[in-house]
Amino acid sequence: MEAFDYTKKYCTVGAGCSGLAAAKNLKAHQIPCDVIEAEDDVGGNWYYGKPRSSVYRSTHLISSKPLTEYTDFPMPAHYPDYPSHAQVWEYLRSYAKTFGLYESIEFNTAVERIEKAGGFWEVTLNNNQTRRELFTAPAAAIITCRNISLQYRVSVHGQKISQLEQ
């Protein structure tokens, strides 16, 4: 199996619960990573009222607290078995604060396009920036969005770039 070159920089698209876990674990292993988040805070779907959130006012988790929480970051003891969306959002914000993730997230910035370009991935942002993230195969951008608004989908395990089905 080809060895990863962990000195290359990764790009995590989205700071919902998946993106936060990716960012936290890359940071723990000193693997450099840009985290790009379109909204002005973390939480993704649980950031109630935002365009990319699908929770409604009365939403609670339907998965139980012990089955939903990060294994290394329990939800607060006073939370009920099925926390509200506001409690889930606070929990995710607390996770980001505890593991020092806020400073590494670029908020209010959307990824518009990701394309393979030679030995790296070209990541185009909505602020007219194009990053040349130094990915090499088999590494790839880590895309963590439940409902990503990108033109292309990049396979994590290979080189495949396919049209995103909306």
Ligand X SMILES: Cc1cc2nc3c(=O)[nH]c(=O)nc-3n(C[C@H](O)[C@H](O)[C@H](O)COP(=O)(O)OP(=O)(O)OC[C@H]3O[C@@H](n4cnc5c(N)ncnc54)[C@H](O)[C@@H]3O)c2cc1C
Closer residue to ligand X in complex, CB, 13/139: 13
148 part of the interface to ligand X, by CB under 6 A: yes
Among 11, 36, 75, 105, binds ligand X (CB under 6 A): 36
State how far the Cα of 36 lies from the Cα of 41, in Å rounded to an integer: 11
- Which member of 39, 69, 121, 141 binds ligand X (CB under 6 A)? 39
Total Cβ atoms within 10 A of residue 2: 8
> Which of the ranges 70-78, 97-105, 127-135, 138-146 carries the binding residues for ligand X, by CB under 6 A?
138-146
**Coil vs helix vs strand at 60:** strand
Q: Look at residues 154, 157, 155 and name the one whose alpha carbon lies nearest to residue 138.
A: 157
Q: Of 2 and 71, which has the nearer Cβ to ligand X?
A: 71
**Which residues on adjacent β-strands are paired with residue 143?**
13
Interface residue with ligand X, options 12, 19, 91, 96 (CB under 6 A): 19
Angle between helices 85-98 and 17-28 (to 10 degrees): 20
Site for ligand X, residues 63 to 92, rule: CB under 6 A: 63, 68
Comparing CB distances to ligand X, the nearer of 16 and 93 is 16
Q: Which of 8, 31, 59, 90 binds ligand X (CB under 6 A)?
A: 59
Q: How far apart are CA 141 and CA 22, in angstroms?
A: 11
Could you tell me how far CA 69 lies from the centroid of its own chain? 16
How many of the chain's residues bind ligand X (CB under 6 A)? 31
For β-strands 10-13 and 111-117, DSSP reports them as: unpaired
Residue closer to ligand X, measured from CB, 18 or 94: 18
Chain residues in the site for ligand X (CB under 6 A):
13-19, 36-39, 44-46, 52, 54-55, 59, 61-63, 68, 110-111, 144-150
